[in-house]
Amino acid sequence: MNVSPDVSVLSLLVNASLLVQLVMAGLLIASIASWYYIFIKIYTYRRAARQAERFEREFWGGGDLNDLFNRAVNARENAGSLERIFESGFREFTKLRKQPGQDIAVVMEGTRRAMRATYQREMESLESHLAFFASVGSVSPYVGLFGTVWGIMNSFRGLATTAQSTLGAVAPGIAEALIATAMGLFAAIPAVVAYNRFAGEVNRFATRFETFTEEFSNILQRQS
Question: What are the residue boundaries of the structural domains of the chain, listed by start?
Answer: 21-223
Quickly count: other Cβ atoms within 10 Å of residue 100's Cβ.
Answer: 5
- The predicted model scores a pTM of 0.81
Contacts (Cβ under 8 Å, ≥6 apart) of 172: 5, 7, 12, 15, 155
Residues, the chain? 224
**Residue 202: how many other CB atoms lie within 10 Å:** 16
Q: Could you read off the pLDDT of 78-113 as tens digits, one per residue? A: 788 999 999 999 999 989 888 877 788 888 999 999
Q: Are 152 and 173 in contact (CB under 8 A)?
A: yes
pLDDT tens-place string over residues 17-37: 677 778 888 999 999 999 999
State the Cα angle at 112 between 198 and 116, rounded to 5°. Answer: 30
DSSP state letters, 95-142: HHHHSTT--HHHHHHHHHHHHHHHHHHHHHHHTTTHHHHHHHHHHHHH
Cα torsion 180, 185, 188, 193 to 10°: value is: -160
What pLDDT is stored for residue 3 in this prediction?
44
> What is the mean pLDDT of the segment spanning 110-132?
93
